[in-house]
Structure 1
Amino acid sequence: MKRSWIISLLATLLILGGGIAGVFYVMDTVQKDVTVSAVLNEPPAEDDEEGEVPKETQEIIFESQKLVVQLELEDGSVGSGFLYNDQGDIITNAHVVANTEKVNVITSDGKKMPGDVIGVSRDIDVAVVRVPGLKGKEPLPIRKEDSAELLDEVLALGSPLGLQNTVTRGEISGLERTLDIEPFHYKNLYQISAPISPGNSGGPLLDRETGEVIGINSAKMDDESIGFSIPIADVLPMVRRWSESPMRSLPEFPELTGEVYSPVTGTDAEQASYMVQYFYDSINQGDFVTAYSLLSASWQEDISFEDFRSGYNNTLSVKVDNLVADPQGDHVEVTAFLTAEETVDGEVQMKKYKVVYPVKKENQSVKIWSGSGEELSAEQEEAS
């Protein structure tokens, strides 16, 4: 059955989940000038009492986003979820997968996998989806005790408006909030200031310092930047029961079968620009496996992973100065203006490049089809 939005939510509340404002993981060398990032500059981490260096915000985001997925239903609606165990089980909101047994799960590198709903609550807005293709993968760290406090800094991850792998930052601005939105009862909620948007229901709320999941982003106040997250510790016993013994039959939600919700997924140009930016963020993080996975199958046929990886042996960092997206019929042509820090004959040099990437869908996933570029002279730099 097709999932629908709760029409009554339009009055005061929208069941949504943690979204973000177009910000994601970038290295310090990229961060100052990348137009899509604005809030992740952090001071150098200091040693803790045991001599270990805490992860910086960028590293936490980069590692966590690999384990946050987009859920896609047959009716076109989307939500978010995250891997919480090594059995391939994804935690999400019940309203995301209400009235369905099968969903498509899209990973951060664009892979689409089938998932089965193995547990849904009629009262608490929580569900679990089992994805065989993710079995054996190390999950996100989960905080098992509800120890969050007011003004704790948090990160909300998910797919706002269908734009996958984005993050917003905020604080816990309230504790023990209670809401009743038929058919769900929400209690002991975290109130958060991190902006959230449609399509991010079920995304994780992370402690900014540790990267642990502390909540499931589930609702927001209509037209307000006030969001609500279910403490993960409150629902862990329930989701573990579903993982150990999946439900034989799923409850129905007749109250959620009204008007179908069709989310905005972003324009083709926005998605194409995001994909190219994601490519260079992966390069700068040294994650060449993810960067390579963003290339089309035909491009991968022309270049092996080993050759792709070796092509960056002399590249220390790449800063994206500007991205220009131009729709061209069946694809979007993305022109990237780059500043690369490279080693040449043992010396570090800064070089400017202009690279053009056709970006289009391949098996329903956005891919970088090919690429061509040139090094810019001083005159060309001024002209660009």
Structure 2
Amino acid sequence: MQRFRVLFLIFGACLIFAATSIRAEPLPGTVLKIKPSIVGIGTFMPTRSPQNLFLGTGFVVANGQYIVTNAHVVAKPLESGKLEKWAIYVTQNNKPKLAYVDKIVVDEVHDIAILKLLKGRLPALKLTTRQVREGKLYAFTGYPIGMILGLYPVTHRGIVSAISPVAIPAYNSTKLDSNLIGRLRDPFHVYQLDATAYPGNSGSPLYDVETAEVVGVINKVFVKESKENVLSKPSGITYAIPIEHVKKLLISKGLY
């Protein structure tokens, strides 16, 4: 009888451990859901060498025709005389593919841009309706160093370490410019992460590791210029724009 009790306790402990392990590791399955919706953002010019210019990351939303990225990622003027076009790069069946897009709307205040596929559709990500919590684990997937090592989306994870205003007051007037003054007058909150992102991650989706719902857009330029104007040396902190601003932009154009 004693031996039976010991075996029963061991078996029960194994079941509890297995269940805990399953609950504790949702990220691998979530990454599989996320990756088909991740695209590289850039331009294609037939007379240029190389023909493809990588600028950042984006992700597919709404009906599968629309792509979200940062406004600063697609800020460059196209050299239309040289047939330069906006393009996205995606991996399908383990092969890189190019598709042309148009830039249809830009929100410079929140550094968001919406692109539209000229042909076809891609799997779209769901935008969250849940509140983001400090201390909760999230992840982001994108192309941190562009296409140098191939078109392979890379995933990082970290907690939201703070939710704070996009701009902080400068300690002297020489640090103020028109953009910063505007953000101070009408500030919005951003997510600060304890994970490291790289320039190519700009435009990557920040998502809930359990639900795969997008909660924000990784931003490596716009936010740092606002929040870190008081620092002589920029930090390695990563920020994200809340997804509510993307939803409002899509809704305002009848796209969501």
**TM tier, smaller:** 0.5 to 0.7
Matched residues in 2 for 1:71 and 1:233: separation? 22
Match of 1:160 in 2: 144
In the TM superposition, residue 182 of structure 1 has moved relative to its aligned partner by 6.9
Q: Kindly indicate whether the alpha-carbon contact (under 8 Å) linking 2:110 and 2:245 is maintained by their aligned counterparts in 1.
A: no
Residue of structure 2 in register with 1:230 after alignment: 241
**Other-structure match for 2:165:** 177
- CA deviation after TM superposition for structure 1 residue 139, in Å: 0.9
Contact 1:215 1:232 in 2 (8 A): yes
Secondary structure, counterpart of 1:70 in structure 2: strand
Task: Please name the residue that 2:127 is paired with.
Answer: 142
What aligned pairs does 1:323-334 form with structure 2 within 5 A after superposition?
Answer: none
CA contact 2:110–2:241 (8 Å) conserved in 1: no
Q: Which residue of 2 aligns with 1:364?
A: none
Task: Tell me, yes or no, if the aligned pair for 2:145 and 2:199 is still in contact at 8 Å.
Answer: yes
Secondary structure at the counterpart of residue 106 of structure 1: strand
> 2: distance between equivalents of 1:182 and 1:61?
40
The amino acid of 1:112's aligned partner reads L
Cα distance, 1:196–1:134 mapped onto 2, change above 3 Å? farther
Distance in 1 of aligned mates of 2:65 and 2:25 = 25
- Whole-angstrom CA distance in 2 between matches of 1:134 and 1:120: 22
Cα distance between partner residues in 1 of 2:137 and 2:160:
7
Aligned residue for 1:240? Answer: 251
> Residues 206 and 86 (structure 1 numbering): CA distance in 2 closer, same or farther, change over 3 Å?
same
* Counterpart-to-counterpart distance in 2, 1:124 and 1:182: 15
Q: Secondary structure at the match of 2:105?
A: strand
- Please show how residues 69-218 of structure 1 align to structure 2 within 5 Å: 69-74=39-44, 76-100=53-77, 102-109=85-92, 110-135=96-121, 137-145=122-130, 147-163=131-147, 164-179=152-167, 183=179, 185=183, 187-218=188-219
Is the Cα–Cα contact under 8 Å of residues 57 and 201 in structure 2 kept in the other structure?
A: yes
Q: Deviations over 1:36-71 (max 9, x none)?
A: xxxxxx96324xxxxxxx982101012201101000
Q: How does 1:1-384 map to 2 (within 5 A)?
A: 44-46=21-23, 56-74=26-44, 76-100=53-77, 102-109=85-92, 110-135=96-121, 137-145=122-130, 147-163=131-147, 164-179=152-167, 183=179, 185=183, 187-219=188-220, 221=224, 224-242=235-253, 244=255
Deviation per CA, 1:116-172, whole angstroms, max 9, x where unpaired? 00101232200000013342x441111034x11111101011111104400111110
* Amino acid in the other structure paired with 2:34: S
| Counterpart Cα distance in 1 of 2:179 and 2:250 | 19
Over the residues paired in the alignment, what is the CA RMSD in angstroms?
A: 2.8
Change (3 A) 1:134 1:159: farther
Per-residue Cα deviation, 1:52-94 (whole angstroms, up to 9, x for no partner): xx98210101220110100012582411110011141001110
Alpha-carbon spacing, 1:123–1:170, altered in 2? closer, same or farther (3 Å):
same
Distance 1:234 1:88, change over 3 A: same
Asked if the contact 1:67–1:139 (Cα under 8 Å) also holds between the matched residues in 2, the reply is: yes
**Whole-angstrom distance in 1 between the partners of 2:29 and 2:76:** 37
The amino acid across from 2:98 in the alignment is K
1:296 match: none
Paired residue type of 2:29: E
Deviations 1:260-306 (A, max 9, x none): xxxxxxxxxxxxxxxxxxxxxxxxxxxxxxxxxxxxxxxxxxxxxxx
For residues 32 and 136 of structure 2, the distance between their equivalents in structure 1, rounded to whole angstroms, comes to 20
CA contact (8 A) 1:123 1:183 kept: no
Give secondary structure in 1 for the equivalent of 2:28. helix
Alignment partners' CA distance in 2, 1:182 and 1:43: 52
Aligned partners of 1:118 and 1:242 also within 8 Å: no
**CA distance in structure 2 between the aligned counterparts of 1:243 and 1:91, rounded to whole angstroms:** 15
In structure 1, stretches of 5+ residues that fail to align are: 1-41, 47-53, 246-384
Please tell me the residue identity of whatever aligns with 1:158.
G
Work out the CA distance in 2 between the residues paired with 1:230 and 1:201. Answer: 11
> Partners of 1:96 and 1:182 in 2: how far apart?
21
Alpha-carbon contact 1:114-1:131 (below 8 Å) kept: yes
Change (3 A) 1:206 1:114: same
Q: What is the TM-score of this pair, normalised by structure 2?
A: 0.67
Share of identical aligned residues, percent?
24
Deviations, residues 96-119 of structure 1 (Å, cap 9, x unaligned): 111447411001331110010010
Structure 2 distance, partners of 1:79, 1:197, is 10
- CA positional deviation for 1:225: 3.1
